Structure 1
């Protein structure tokens, strides 16, 4: 990727004037790509079977950071941070700066070593992250540190309410001329005609089509015989009404994360490493998850959770834990497989897929054709430190 320009407006040099583009899915990535394409003069139509952000984006944790160890992820993370900070204050979106703390327990040698090594790789890519002595961590933040072996703090981080991001970008997209068709189920005509969309009984042919339908992407493509190496899986989160003024924190040993939230705290874990039917899954959180995350947060932050709301959402896994983003068939593009990092990279990935559609490839490592779609693989937790 080239060096990003300052501000929210997309870094796209290509001219999209005269192109007609359809996006299926009005989540954070899809609506960002639609907005960015519209700024180039393209005619863009977004199909969403529910409402804007009603899928995984609206259920996301809202954690945002650029602490990634690989080159492409670090660049996407940095660009996302730049864009969300520039957008903050545009009704109804607000980004709140907040340090992101990562810890591993003393008796967890594998994760202690992995976290320390990961931080070094992040620093190579210029990320503002460093290891910190547990005692120093405890003096700076209201966290218990007696069982911590390795700790790190990422400073270029913060949180938001994901739905407000999607709503703000959708408004800007519509103002740019994007046609937003919500409560509209759309499908691809067939495997040989992947740029024709069928919606409300009508067929419309476009120059390009982007499938950014989250957990439903595999199902939507499969309906016309196109297979991709992606599996949806269930994750869980809750909000608490007790005030919390500490940092965002991810405990690599327990797998639990938490952050400040307008009601008090948001905390999550509850990952189920099995493929989930995107149409038939339990939307409410499980009792075991609530008990587990309550115990973990009390141990780490001496915080007693009083549950306000508890829910489940869907993430998407791939064989190598990297997204499937790019041209899958002639004129057909896909954006899925986020491994739990979709929203926190949405502003950068939406821009990147838009550039790819217009002939400015910047995400070659995520080329969806690197897999046949017939691969057998196990789901792994996206936030795991191994």
Structure 2
């Protein structure tokens, strides 16, 4: 098959690599530089801490692939609850994760403090710890996937904006090119691209912010504080701190971090640790959301496929979903093919749904 992939982020490149390795002729079209969209602004968290069996299978497949590629840096992931109702939910999540074979443990505040003395555990009711989690360097992910896709025979065209003239026809500045299949993995741009050929997607964009602190002198895990609504992950000898999300017009948004977000994030770090770092740099990026928090990954018209709506988890899931999509496009089997299609079917909505993109932008995409 001759397949076009529109979008040069982690999902698009993973799909292109998987297609090329299965014998397809693949051309990737990226309107800017590779990884210049959501992938380039991603936090790089990567964990398998999911209680749902399908979530756990996707996470396990993605982590295994990143390990094989040498891109995965082990880093424990901790999530904490500060009231009893949240604590009960954390304990239930841990039981479900263990049932799926995920290496997690429940920690009391005292045990968490013993393990990470720099954390202020006051007010925490319970914590979960995923031992096999890690972090990724988004730039390294993009570079590695692009190199391997090219080595497998794919053509990667950058600074190549395109539109769709039909579900199987890509309009380029040099003219129209027809393909056996087209996969659009272009983040929020996926929606207007496929709208040109009469496909409506239930998709919204939201702006998420992050910053990197000055170096900190402490051993800390990756952490998500559900009560204070923020996360961090170690980034070299500093911390990458994130959230500060809100719905935006994807054609009009600011890629710089808001001063209020920077101040609030540094205050949260100081309240959760004995540290008071300054901000080294901050930024914002676009994420995509769907009505139920699960992505849109599948066929939307004869010869046309989409992969979007990752709720901020596209980088973390990319290798597994790329393999799944490639197998689906080529009508081949995949370990995820038994249960995943109904969960991520992009036609489960008609595209006219009204929904809030930010009811909980940090929730697990397949819950």
State the TM bucket, normalised to the shorter chain.
over 0.9
Q: Indicate if the aligned counterparts of 1:246 and 1:260 stay in contact, CA closer than 8 A.
A: yes
What are the ranges of 5 or more consecutive residues in structure 1 without an aligned counterpart?
A: 1-18, 89-93
Q: Indicate if the aligned counterparts of 1:62 and 1:160 stay in contact, CA closer than 8 A.
A: yes
Q: Indicate if the aligned counterparts of 2:199 and 2:300 stay in contact, CA closer than 8 A.
A: no
Q: Indicate if the aligned counterparts of 1:322 and 1:366 stay in contact, CA closer than 8 A.
A: yes
Residue of 199, 206, 210 corresponding to 2:183: 210
Whole-angstrom distance in 2 between the partners of 1:211 and 1:140: 44
Q: Indicate if the aligned counterparts of 1:96 and 1:158 stay in contact, CA closer than 8 A.
A: yes
Whole-angstrom distance in 2 between the partners of 1:283 and 1:334: 25
Q: Deviations over 1:124-181 (max 9, x none)?
A: 2111112111100100113111210121100111112111101111011111111111
TM-score normalised by L of structure 2:
0.94
Q: CA deviation at 1:303?
A: 2.1
Task: Name the structure 2 match of 1:382.
Answer: 361
Q: Deviations over 1:30-84 (max 9, x none)?
A: 0011011101111000000001101010100000001112222111100111011
Consecutive aligned runs of 4 or more in structure 1 exceeding 4 Å deviation: none
Is 1:150–2:126 an aligned residue pair? yes
Q: CA deviation at 1:206?
A: 0.6
Secondary structure at the residue paired with 2:312?
coil
Whole-angstrom distance in 2 between the partners of 1:354 and 1:225: 23
Q: CA deviation at 1:381?
A: 2.6
Task: Name the structure 2 match of 1:200.
Answer: 173
Q: CA deviation at 1:335?
A: 0.4
Q: CA deviation at 1:347?
A: 1.4
Is 1:260–2:208 an aligned residue pair? no
Q: CA deviation at 1:263?
A: 5.0
Is 1:334–2:306 an aligned residue pair? yes
Q: Deviations over 1:187-217 (max 9, x none)?
A: 110xxx3011111141111111101001211
Whole-angstrom distance in 2 between the partners of 1:225 and 1:210: 16
Task: Name the structure 2 match of 1:123.
Answer: 98
Residue of 124, 127, 132 corresponding to 2:107: 132
Aligned pair count reads: 356
Is 1:353–2:353 an aligned residue pair? no
Whole-angstrom distance in 1 between the partners of 2:236 and 2:115: 22
Secondary structure at the residue paired with 2:260?
helix
Q: Indicate if the aligned counterparts of 1:239 and 1:263 stay in contact, CA closer than 8 A.
A: no
Whole-angstrom distance in 1 between the partners of 2:150 and 2:114: 47
TM-score normalised by L of structure 1:
0.89
**RMSD of the alignment, in Å?**
1.5
Whole-angstrom distance in 2 between the partners of 1:57 and 1:378: 23
What are the ranges of 5 or more consecutive residues in structure 2 without an aligned counterpart?
A: none
Q: Indicate if the aligned counterparts of 2:293 and 2:363 stay in contact, CA closer than 8 A.
A: no
Residue of 138, 144, 158 corresponding to 1:182: 158
Is 1:58–2:35 an aligned residue pair? no
